[in-house]
Amino acid sequence: MKTIYSHYDKSAISALPKVQFEGRIIVIQSIGEARRAVDYLLRAPRLGIDTETRPNFKPGGMNPVSLLQVSTPDTCFLFRLVRIGLPDCVVRLLADTSVQKVGLSLHDDWAQLRRRQDFEPGKYLELQDYVRKLGIEDMSLQKLYANLFHQKISKAQRLSNWDADVLTEAQKRYAATDAWACLRLYDEINHLFSTKDYQLVNTE
């Protein structure tokens, strides 16, 4: 039986083994590549989704979304919106109502993406709402993953330059991990719902 916690102890995360996406990563830098990627992704049963934005260290400022990462269990596409904007083919993916997109803090992602081009989000699931059904109160991806898998997602690249001419391997792996991890969390939550093979420990 799996033990999960209403609030995971953040200080315990550093001692956990590190996890990262080990699948195929494809960087999208042209609209033609984006069209082909969208056609591929819309054949999947569900997708993990996340965004990255170049940090702005000045008060009140916010940069446009730099990167949209969309992942299947084994392949993650990194759409470099800083290069291609938000083309119609990517809007078609985001507005699609047949393939479920799973993410964390999606309200914020949608708001930032819609600053590039307005659209109505299609079929999606917000993990922050979903995980509450287990009694978990944590809302960060790192804490949720540590709680359910006892592994650490490194956040070392979070404040790196997502508008750089060339993304580093560490940036690509970090971005892909966040989108892929949303899928893994979704599948694990569903497994726990169906088997009831867990106990919740209420902590503060």
pLDDT, tens only, 122-180: 999 999 999 999 999 999 999 999 999 999 999 989 888 999 999 999 999 999 999 99
Segment 186-203, tens digit of pLDDT: 999 999 999 999 999 999
Query: What is residue 159's predicted lDDT score, i.e. its pLDDT?
Result: 82
Query: What is residue 62's predicted lDDT score, i.e. its pLDDT?
Result: 80
Query: What is residue 55's predicted lDDT score, i.e. its pLDDT?
Result: 87
**Which structural domain, as residue segments, surrounds residue 65?**
2-201
Domain count, the chain: 1
Query: What is residue 60's predicted lDDT score, i.e. its pLDDT?
Result: 66
Q: Please, what is the average pLDDT of the chain? A: 95
Amino acid identity, residue 156? A
Query: What is residue 121's predicted lDDT score, i.e. its pLDDT?
Result: 97
Which of 152, 201, 203, 202 has the alpha carbon at shortest distance from 1?
201
Separation of alpha carbons 172 and 132, rounded Å: 30
Separation of alpha carbons 68 and 29, rounded Å: 11
Determine the average pLDDT of the residues in 1-7: 96
Gyration radius of the chain's alpha carbons: 17
Separation of alpha carbons 101 and 126, rounded Å: 9
pTM of the predicted model as reported, rounded to 2 decimal places: 0.94
Tell me how far the alpha carbon of residue 156 is from its chain's centroid.
Answer: 16
Segment 74-133, tens digit of pLDDT: 999 999 999 999 999 999 999 999 999 999 999 999 999 999 999 999 999 999 999 999
Residue 62 belongs to a domain with what CATH number? 3.30.420.10
